[in-house]
Copies of this chain bind each other. A is one copy, B any other.
C-alpha cells in the first residue's frame, strides 16, 4: 500500500448515516456510486428487516466491504455495575459484528456524567474491553468526540490508547471532531500508523454554535465547507494510515435527499480531496487519476430554451440590449445572438415548452476534451449529443440542477461556432449605439433545487476547478435565500436557493434564472437599451431615497439610476451597478452590470428589492386574468 504506487483514494467508504432511506437503499446507492465499502451505522441496522448475516451477503453481492460498525457509546463508567453492563452490551454487539463480518467497531469517548476521568482507570477499562474484542478477533477504534466528558481531543484519546497498550485497541480519527475544536492535526503524524485503525472525513461550514448540534446537523462532504481537509489528511497519511478514506457526514439535507445522488456527490468529494492531497504532498501517493482542470477562459455562450411564446419576447429583449442574430444552427432550431463577446443561443426545440430557462452554459476551456475527461473521472454525467458528421463534437456534462455544461473553444476554426450558419449580420451592438455597450457575459445566475445546493457547489469546484465564494443569505419578501458564487478569472456562476420555502403561500417556486451582461457604463447601456424598447424592471422610489440616505451618491447620477432602475451596491472594494429586465418567457431575465473598482460580488444585498419588483409585476399582470 505504500510507496510510489499507492493511490490515495484506492479504498473509499461511506457511513450509511450519510444517506437517506432504508439500509437497503443506502447500500445500493453506495455501490452504484462506486464506493468500495461502508460503515454500518447501528440505527440503520436496527431498523432493518435484514439480519446481520443477510446484510453481509447483500454487501458482498454489491461488492461493498463493511469497513466499520458504529457507534459503541459510553464504554467506560465510574460505576462498576454500569461498566459491567457496558461489557455485556459489547459482547452482544460483537455477536452482531461477527455475523456482519466486520472486524472494527467505532467506540466513542463517553459523554456521560459517569465517564471515567482518571487516565489509568480509563485505560484499564478500555483494555478490558479490548481484551474481550481481541479474543473474538475484533478491534476497537476509539474516537474522541468533540463534546466528550473527559476525552474530547485526539491528543487525549491517543494518551489513553497508548496507556491501555492493547493490540485490539487503536484510534479512530474524525476530521470534524478535530477541526471543529481548532486542534492542530500536525501532531497526528507522530502517532504510529498501525494504531490509526480508522479515519472518518467530514467538512463543515464555520458556524458559531453548540458543537454537538453543529456536528449532528451541518456536516458536509469534503470541499463543500470551510475546513482545510487536505491539511488534515496529510499528517494522517504521513503517519502511515492505510485504511479507507471514509465519510461520516450528518447533514439534515442529505438525510432526506435521493441517496443515489448524494452518494455520487460523496464519492466525488473523496476523489477531489485525494487529488488535492496528492498535489500538495506528492510523496503520499498518486491522486485518483483525473486530468487537472484545464484553464477556463470565460463564458463562450449561454443557451436558453424557449418556446413559441417566450422566444420572440426573449429575442426582442436581446435586440433591444444591442444583440444581433448572427447565426443559425445547421441542424437544430437554435439561433446565435451576439453583442461584443457576449453570446446567447436561443433554442426552440419542443422540449422547452412552458417557460424560458437556461438550458446550457458554454464555458471556454483551453482543452475541452481534457475538461470532459476530468468531469467523467469525477463522476459527472457526460452528455453524448447526437451531431452530424460535419458538426463539432462538443464535450458536455450535466450539472446537478440539470443545466448542461459545454466545454468549448470559440477561437478555433473547428469549434462550436462552425455549427452555426452565419446570417450575415455582424455582432452587436446594433442600435446605433456608439457609446459603451455590452462586452461579455459577467455571470449566470442559477436557482438551485433545494436538495442539491451543496452538491452543485462541489460539482463546479471539483469538475470545473472553480473557486466557491463564501455564502450569503438575504431575506426577500417570501422567505430566506442563500447565495454562493463559484468562479475563476473569467467564469462566474451565481448559485442561489430558497432555504425553507414550502407550503402553499410562498410563491415563486420556479424562481427566475438570469444572464448578467457586463458593460463599462451601465447608465449609458441601460438608457440605450430602454430607448430601444428593453423591458427594464421598475424599481421603487423608496429604494433611491434610501440609497441617497445611505451612500449619498452624486445627485445627477442618482437621478439617472432612479430613472433607469439601476441598483447600486457598495463595499470597501468598489461599487456594483446593476439593472434587470422584467422576467421574460416565464423564468429568465437579463441584467446589465458594471463593476467599479475591485468590487467582486453580485449585488446580493439588493436582491430582495429586485425580487419584490419581479414578484409585484407577476401579481399585477396576473390580476386581470382572475375571474
Contact = CB atoms under 8 A, between A and B. Distances in A.
Interface of A: 20-22, 25, 42-52, 85, 88-89, 92-93, 95-96, 207-210, 213, 252-253, 255-259, 261, 449-451, 475, 477-480, 498-506, 538, 540-543, 545-546, 548-550, 552, 608-609, 612-613, 615-616
26 contacts: A21-B505, A22-B616, A25-B477, A42-B546, A43-B475, A44-B477, A47-B609, A49-B616, A89-B550, A207-B209, A208-B213, A252-B499, A252-B500, A255-B479, A255-B500, A256-B478, A256-B498, A256-B500, A256-B503, A257-B505, A258-B503, A258-B504, A259-B505, A261-B505, A449-B503, A450-B503
Nearest to A91: B549
Contact of A451 (B49, B478, B502, B615): B502
Contacts of A543: 46-47
Most buried by B among A252, A505, A506, A615: A505
Contact of A479 (B20, B85, B449): B20
Given A22-B616, A88-B549, 4 more contacts: A44-B477, A49-B540, A255-B478, A255-B480
Given A85-B552, A540-B47, A450 B213 contact: no
Contact of A255 (B48, B89, B475, B616): B475
Nearest to A547: B46
A612 B48 CA distance: 8
Nearest to A543: B46
A608 B48 CA distance: 11
B616 A480 contact: no
A498 to B, nearest CB: 8
A473 to B, nearest CB: 9
A46 to B, nearest CB: 5
A505 B549 contact: no
Contacts of A450: 502-503
Contact of A608 (B47, B93, B207): B47
A552 B48 CA distance: 21
Closest 4 A/B residue pairs (Cβ):
A256-B479, A92-B549, A209-B209, A258-B505
Contacts of A504: 258
B93 A549 contact: yes
A522 to B, nearest CB: 21
Nearest to A99: B545
Contacts of A616: 22, 49
A313 to B, nearest CB: 23
A503 B612 contact: no
A48 B542 contact: yes
A10 to B, nearest CB: 30
A20 B612 CA distance: 12
Contacts of A609: 46-47
A538 B501 CA distance: 36
A71 to B, nearest CB: 13
Contacts of A477: 20-22, 25, 44, 47
Nearest to A505: B258
Contacts of A52: 542
Contacts of A498: 256
A96 B252 CA distance: 43
A506 B252 CA distance: 12
A457 B549 CA distance: 42
Contacts of A506: 20, 256-257
Given A42-B546, A258-B505, A552 B479 contact: no
A20 B508 CA distance: 13
Nearest to A90: B549
B46 A542 contact: yes
Contact of A51 (B22, B541, B550): B541
Given A48-B540, A213-B208, A502-B450, A478 B21 contact: yes
Contacts of A25: 477
A612 B256 contact: no
B213 A210 contact: no
Given A21-B477, A502-B502, A47 B612 contact: yes
A259 B258 CA distance: 32
A466 to B, nearest CB: 25
B22 A612 contact: yes
